Structure formats: C-alpha cells, structure tokens
Structure 1
Amino acid sequence: MEQVLGTSVIPFNEMHWRFGLASAFGLLLGLDHEVRGISAGVRTHMLVALSSAMTMLIALELSRRCPPGDRATRTLPGPFRVWPRPSGSCAPE
C-alpha cells in the first residue's frame, strides 16, 4: 500500500482502526437519533465522525512530520488566515 499512497508517520493499520471506530460511534449515535426521531440521522453522524477523524489524522501527520517551530505548524490568529506557499522545510519536494 505504501507504493500507492507513499510513506506515512501513522501506520496504515492504525488509520483503519481510527476510521472504523469513528464510523462505529457515528453509527451508534445516528441510530440513537433515528430511534428518537431527531432530524440528523445515521448518514449525517457517520459523515461528521469520519471527517473529524480525518482532520485529526491530518493534524497528527503534520505535527509528527514537521519540527515544532516550522512555518507549517504555526497557528495564525484571526478568522481569515492567509497561508503562505509551501516552501518551508516541511513542504514536499
């Protein structure tokens, strides 16, 4: 799988477990809402759980690959952020 996706700091099996757990918890919460008749159901909760798991995996991947003081890992204040071009030490070449 590494030939297709490249190398990763987080093992591929761990990613599968995290996505699987996020899907399972989203499914349980969605089923609970379906039974109670609340508008957001199974699909909504599973998509939200998967997207939050993916966001966290991307953040973990960036934080483990980049050094702490690197430009790619700094948080910019304010609601409107202008991201610089990826030319720092963390950018792929």
Structure 2
Amino acid sequence: MKADYLEESLLRELEERLLQPDVRKSAKDIMDLLADEFIEFGSSGRVFNKQQIIESLQNEPIQPPGRPHHVNKRIVFSISSQIVALIVAY
C-alpha cells in the first residue's frame, strides 16, 4: 500500500539528512535518525542492522566536496500501520 504524502515527505527528509557528510560521521545523529529495529537490505543482498550501519558509516571515506551522495529514485510504501518501507536507489 502506498504511503501517504506526510509519511513520504518525512522519510525523504530523514534520508536526505543521512546523506549529509557531517551526519554520516556522527554516531549520535545516526542513532537518532534510525529506528532501533532498522534493517537495510544492501544491493549485494546483505542485510544490515542499525549498529552495523553506524559502524560502517564511521569507517566510510569522507565524500569530497562537490560530490554529494545522489538519490536516483525513492519508493515509499506502508507494510502495516506501524511499518513503512523506503527503497532508495543511488
């Protein structure tokens, strides 16, 4: 089921914050942005939890200025009244 406009807008805003280099390097900011139950399915098929994402971003090389992460496509849909999925293609 398609997410409503407010859910989609909120998730878009949160995802864009996660793309900011200063946020990506801040474990506290990432902890605040991601739900404890967060799960990411990588393009490789690997599954990552919140702690693994925090650790991965701490070790990520700093993105050079002028080369920000770019989102090609976002799909947001509700799985249930308490679960919303965000699919992002970079």
Q: Rg larger in 1 or in 2?
A: 1
Scaled to the shorter chain, the TM-score interval is: 0.3 to 0.5
- Structure with greater strand share of residues: 2
Kindly indicate whether structure 1 or structure 2 has the higher relative contact order, using CA contacts under 8 Å at least 6 residues apart. Answer: 2
Using the size of structure 2 for normalisation, the TM-score is: 0.33
Going by fraction, where is helix more abundant, 1 or 2? Answer: 1
